[in-house]
């Protein structure tokens, strides 16, 4: 009877639990994934391609949640190291702010320094921030096949307060300017996508096409989204973007026409369909410098495909293409053909920044940052007019100095329009963290307040070059040592695309509609340090071993030799060869007509042994003298 009851109750319990799971699961928001591609012709006859992928994981109160679209590896990093916000970028090439823009959302968020840049904000106590940072660098190093673990050293990262643009007391920042970027970093980055590079817009990422460009930067930004409800955890937002600047394969015909291009000519592939797991999949074409040409076919240019939607921005037009209907039989291959010459310029930041070294020699030098006014400076808005009605431009400067570059902060000099100014006039705020030899790097944060009519401003600071131990030099030490890029940000200026329409269903345009801080990175500096001759240790070891081998070899030979045995050996040898010698001596005596002499073998052996002993003694004295002289001259006095 009991077995019969159990047989009926077990299926009912399973069915009840299944129905409850469906009921509660229907209330939860599902994970979302979207993909998009932005194409933009540039004034210098190049084309910008910006891939953007967004993956959202909604808040959940479960501890062991199963992710359908969100990458599990990233979710484990967030939970294990309690990461609140993080950004990782791999960049090759330098962003050209003069021709590609510096006052737009795309350049402010995706123009990154050369090499690897990593910053993270942790939700842990202050005493555990450095430990979490080191563990995070090791995990990311294995995940992306890179040398990010080199950032675990306290000499490779810093803790900015306000100069980086984010006010967080648990922020850590580090960069590796010399890190090479290759397909080994792109492949694990693509594996985080639900469709990888097999389907959808990501299928356009042909490796040769991506890495032949003038600039490419793959970026990963992770942030936590608060649910606002009690007892419900935070959601996660993962943004992956790849920015590439390509040169179309066209032959210059001598005219001023911009080069025509298509997706197949840029990437060697076409879009044959969207990722089946993507909620939205769109391609955007942004055209700048157009007056009233909103049509996709006009007297200035012509598109190969009719757009599904056209948006007007203050200084550009945006054509939207939906690739849901593309397939193998009808692939999507957007093309742009120019008919008339067209010239335009991209918006630039209020000041163009460049950095360089001054001085010569291997002892000391100076670092200088030059800020030049741009052509669009007078048209920019958002200037600070609260300072007694005076128009000013605020600029924050953030720099990291390796410990072997010993900066003297008291030598800071500021020049405005080639006139030296006192620090109190221009420098409104400064935060300095001196470096410690082989322990921590130096950091400097400055806030400058310059007049709007400024033409140029320069900052210089002197430094001494330190000495490294021979074990601290990299394999290519003669190439020089890198100083990471400096960050110049303008807190009063924010860039965004001003669209009047509702764009909540288009993640990329919603991101560009938000205000982003205008900032730019300077060049990476290459500092030559005093480098030892790495071949000298080999030479010293070789000659020392040779001298010691000769000395001890001769000494052991002298100590182990027995003279009595040598004399008996020579006598026995003389007996064996005595007949032949006597025969030869008699023969020569008869020829010369002289009497035959028979020398005693004992005297001959004694003479030979004496000669050998004198030669041996001379060798021992010679080797001992050479060894003593070497020891005397090689010892430091």
Q: What is the CATH number of the domain that holds 429?
A: 2.60.40.740
Q: Tally the residues of the chain.
A: 637
Please report the pLDDT score of residue 37 as a whole number: 96
Q: HSE, CB side, 13 Å, CA atoms: give it for residue 238.
A: 23
Which of 505, 527, 549 is the last residue before a domain boundary? 527
Cβ contact 376:351 at 8 Å: no
User: Residue 136 — very low, low, confident or very high, per pLDDT cuts 50/70/90?
Assistant: very high
For 548, the enclosing helix (H) or strand (E) is: helix 536-560
What mean pLDDT do residues 577-595 have? 61
Q: Does residue 391 have a pLDDT over 90?
A: no
User: Residue 486 — very low, low, confident or very high, per pLDDT cuts 50/70/90?
Assistant: very high
Total-model pTM = 0.81
User: Does 200 lie in the same domain as 91?
Assistant: yes
User: Does 306 lie in the same domain as 364?
Assistant: no
Closest CA to 211 of 178, 176, 248, 244: 244
What mean pLDDT do residues 155-169 have? 86
User: Residue 637 — very low, low, confident or very high, per pLDDT cuts 50/70/90?
Assistant: very low
- 632 within domain boundaries: no
Cβ contact 27:229 at 8 Å: no
User: Residue 387 — very low, low, confident or very high, per pLDDT cuts 50/70/90?
Assistant: low
User: Does 363 lie in the same domain as 218?
Assistant: no
Cβ contact 52:35 at 8 Å: yes
For 266, the enclosing helix (H) or strand (E) is: helix 263-267
- 398 within domain boundaries: yes
User: Does 397 lie in the same domain as 329?
Assistant: no
User: Does 510 lie in the same domain as 454?
Assistant: yes
What mean pLDDT do residues 451-473 have? 90
User: Does 184 lie in the same domain as 59?
Assistant: yes
Which of 268, 303, 338 is the last residue before a domain boundary? 338
Taking the C-alpha atoms of residue 337 and residue 319, their distance in angstroms, rounded to an integer, is 15
- 556 within domain boundaries: no
User: Does 159 lie in the same domain as 113?
Assistant: yes
Taking the C-alpha atoms of residue 501 and residue 513, their distance in angstroms, rounded to an integer, is 11
Please report the pLDDT score of residue 502 as a whole number: 73
- 450 within domain boundaries: yes
User: Does 124 lie in the same domain as 43?
Assistant: yes
At 484, is the secondary structure helix, strand, or coil? Answer: coil
Closest CA to 345 of 16, 97, 25, 57: 97
**Structural domain boundaries enclosing 57:** 39-338
Domains in the chain: how many in total? 2
At 112, is the secondary structure helix, strand, or coil? Answer: coil
Give 86 or 566, the one with higher predicted confidence.
Answer: 86
Cβ contact 48:243 at 8 Å: yes
User: Does 363 lie in the same domain as 499?
Assistant: yes
User: Does 393 lie in the same domain as 244?
Assistant: no
User: Does 403 lie in the same domain as 275?
Assistant: no
Q: What share of the chain in percent tops pLDDT 90?
A: 48
Which of 503, 527, 551 is the last residue before a domain boundary? 527
- 275 within domain boundaries: yes
Q: Does residue 289 have a pLDDT over 80?
A: no
Q: Which two tokens stand for residue 187?
A: 């492949």
Closest CA to 45 of 217, 270, 250, 254: 250
User: Does 163 lie in the same domain as 305?
Assistant: yes
Q: pLDDT tens digit string along 508-535?
A: 998 898 889 999 999 999 999 888 888 8
- 612 within domain boundaries: no
- 540 within domain boundaries: no
Rounded to a whole number of angstroms, the CA Rg of the chain reads 38
- 247 within domain boundaries: yes
């Amino acid at each position: 009877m009991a077995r019969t009851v159990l047989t009926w109750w077990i299926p009912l319990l399973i069915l009840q639990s299944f129905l409850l799971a469906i009921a509660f699961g229907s209330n939860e928001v599902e994970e979302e994934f979207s993909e998009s591609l932005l194409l933009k012709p540039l004034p210098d006859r190049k084309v910008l391609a910006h891939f953007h992928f967004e993956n959202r994981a909604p808040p959940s109160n479960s501890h062991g949640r199963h992710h359908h679209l969100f990458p599990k590896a990233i979710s484990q990093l967030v939970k294990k190291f309690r990461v609140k916000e993080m950004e990782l970028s791999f960049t090759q090439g330098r962003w050209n702010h003069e021709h590609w823009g510096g006052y737009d959302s795309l350049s402010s968020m995706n123009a990154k320094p050369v090499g690897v840049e990593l910053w993270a904000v942790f939700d842990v106590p202050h005493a555990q921030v450095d430990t979490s940072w080191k563990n995070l660098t090791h995990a990311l190093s294995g995940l992306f096949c890179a040398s990010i673990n080199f950032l675990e050293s306290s000499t490779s990262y810093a803790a900015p307060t306000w100069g980086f643009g984010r006010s967080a007391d648990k922020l850590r920042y580090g960069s590796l300017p010399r890190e090479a970027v290759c397909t080994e970093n792109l492949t694990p980055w693509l594996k985080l996508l639900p469709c990888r590079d097999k389907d959808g817009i990501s299928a356009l990422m042909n490796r040769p096409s991506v890495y032949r460009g003038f600039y490419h930067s793959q970026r990963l930004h992770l942030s936590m989204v608060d649910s606002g409800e009690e007892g419900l955890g935070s959601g996660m937002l993962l943004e992956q973007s790849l920015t590439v600047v390509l040169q179309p394969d066209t032959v210059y015909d001598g005219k001023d026409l911009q080069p025509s291009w298509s997706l197949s000519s840029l990437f060697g592939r076409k879009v044959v369909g969207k990722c089946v797991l993507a909620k939205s999949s769109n391609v955007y074409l942004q055209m700048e410098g157009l007056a009233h040409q909103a049509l996709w076919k006009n007297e200035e240019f012509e598109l190969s495909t009719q757009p599904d939607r056209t948006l007007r921005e203050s200084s550009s037009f945006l054509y939207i293409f939906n690739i849901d209907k593309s397939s193998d039989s009808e692939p999507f291959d957007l093309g742009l053909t120019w008919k008339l010459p067209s010239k335009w310029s991209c918006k630039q930041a209020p000041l163009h920044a460049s950095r360089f070294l001054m001085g010569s020699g291997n002892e000391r030098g100076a670092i200088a940052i030059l800020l030049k006014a741009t052509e669009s400076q007078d048209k920019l808005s958002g200037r600070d007019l609260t300072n007694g009605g005076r128009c000013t431009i605020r600029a924050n400067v953030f720099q990291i100095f390796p410990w072997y570059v010993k900066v003297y902060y008291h030598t800071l000099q500021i020049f405005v329009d080639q006139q030296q100014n006192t620090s109190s006039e221009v420098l409104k705020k400064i935060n300095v963290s001196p470096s410690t030899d082989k322990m921590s790097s130096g950091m400097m944060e400055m806030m400058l307040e310059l007049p709007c009519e400024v033409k140029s401003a320069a900052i210089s600071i002197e430094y001494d070059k330190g000495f490294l131990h021979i074990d601290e030099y990299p394999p290519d030490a003669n190439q020089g040592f890198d100083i990471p890029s400096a960050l110049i940000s303008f807190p009063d200026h924010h860039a965004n695309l001003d669209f009047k329409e509702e764009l909540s269903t288009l993640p990329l345009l919603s991101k560009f509609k938000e205000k982003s801080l205008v900032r730019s990175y300077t060049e990476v500096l290459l500092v030559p340090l005093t480098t030892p001759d790495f071949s000298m240790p080999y030479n010293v070891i070789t000659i020392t071993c040779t001298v010691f081998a000769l000395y001890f070899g001769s000494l052991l030979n002298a100590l182990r030799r027995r003279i009595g045995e040598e004399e008996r050996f020579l006598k026995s040898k003389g007996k064996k060869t005595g007949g032949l010698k006597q025969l030869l001596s008699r023969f020569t005596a008869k020829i010369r007509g002289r009497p035959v002499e028979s020398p005693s073998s004992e005297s001959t052996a004694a003479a030979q042994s004496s000669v050998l002993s004198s030669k041996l003694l001379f060798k021992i004295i010679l080797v001992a003298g050479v060894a003593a002289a070497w020891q005397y001259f090689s010892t430091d006095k």
